[in-house]
Amino acid sequence: MLIKLATFYLTSFLFIYSSCNNTKNIEFQEYRENKKFEVRGSESIPVMSDPSPNSNFISWINKNVNINIINIINISRDKYKLDNFENYWYYVDFDNRKGYIFGEYLQEKKIQYDYRQNCKLDFPNNFKSGILNLGSNCESIYLDKNGNFNYHFTGDCKGWGRILKGKWIKENNYIRLSAILTEGNKKDEIELCSGSHYSEYTNSEKNECIAKYRQSILSNFGKYPTEFYVDGYLKIDETIMIEVDLKSKLANDKNTKGLLNISKEKFTAFLECETIN
């Protein structure tokens, strides 16, 4: 059938059926089904001024355009025969224009539902838990259902690196994140200076890394170890992207910025998520 249709599209230009129906006798009813359609085959299809291939041409609908976006208004009560095909006529609204499409040119579109996007629905009211990937080396934020979050923000996918642990709560239209970040305890040094994605550091490399880390904290903040307050949010912006913002400030001087800062970065979806409903 697809070969016949493709040949028909190309050779007859869709407008020279000999078995045209009398358009005045075609009755339509409101289209109420919740199905989605796409163009059958590989060609574009025409939108006509009347339910007839001999009526005036209005516009083309390109392959892969979702017919629900075009907005099906009415469907003929009965099927009609054009050439060797029998199907319904559809009355549609497309690109601020209205017209008719013969149903043989359409096929039902199978929608693959992405469960991860469900976390965006009624966010954050419907949100329960999830993992948001922030980039390379397995940098991620995991929010559990008990109001705790872990932010893996340095290191790599082998498990090395720093993890910030804090609390999350729902506030208005966003999720509020808060934590205390310590720079300089023994555990931090081990996590930060264990190695890279390619290999584990030698003892000499670890000691050199720790020395540089200590010097950096001392020169920037005058104290080692030292603590920072971390505050931020997750929200869905007007483009349905997940926006992440995190700021760290010195605990004893909130005018001094810390080293950990994310400024309104955008992400598309949660790697995993769980919703209330």
| Domain-wise residue ranges, the chain | 2-108, 115-275
d(CA 145, CA 258): 28
**Full pLDDT tens readout for the chain, 277 residues:** 333 333 333 333 333 333 344 455 789 998 887 677 777 776 778 889 999 888 998 888 776 555 556 678 899 999 998 888 899 999 988 767 789 999 888 887 664 445 455 677 778 888 889 888 776 556 789 999 999 999 887 655 555 567 889 999 999 889 999 999 988 877 777 777 877 655 678 889 888 988 988 898 899 898 888 999 999 999 987 777 889 999 999 998 888 999 888 898 887 777 778 887 6
Residues 6 or more apart whose Cβ sits within 8 Å of residue 7: none
pLDDT value of position 159: 55
d(CA 188, CA 163): 9
Q: How many helices (H) and strands (E) does the chain have?
A: 4, 20
Q: Beta-carbon neighbour count of residue 178 at 10 Å? A: 14
pLDDT value of position 152: 82
Strand partners, 141: 132, 151
Is the bond into 53 cis (omega within 30 degrees of 0)? no
pLDDT value of position 16: 33
Residue with tokens 């940098």: 139
Name the strand (E) or helix (H) holding 61. strand 57-61
User: And the tokens for 208?
Assistant: 């050199």
What is the greatest pairwise CA distance in the chain?
89
User: And the tokens for 228?
Assistant: 């920072």
Sequence length of the chain is 277
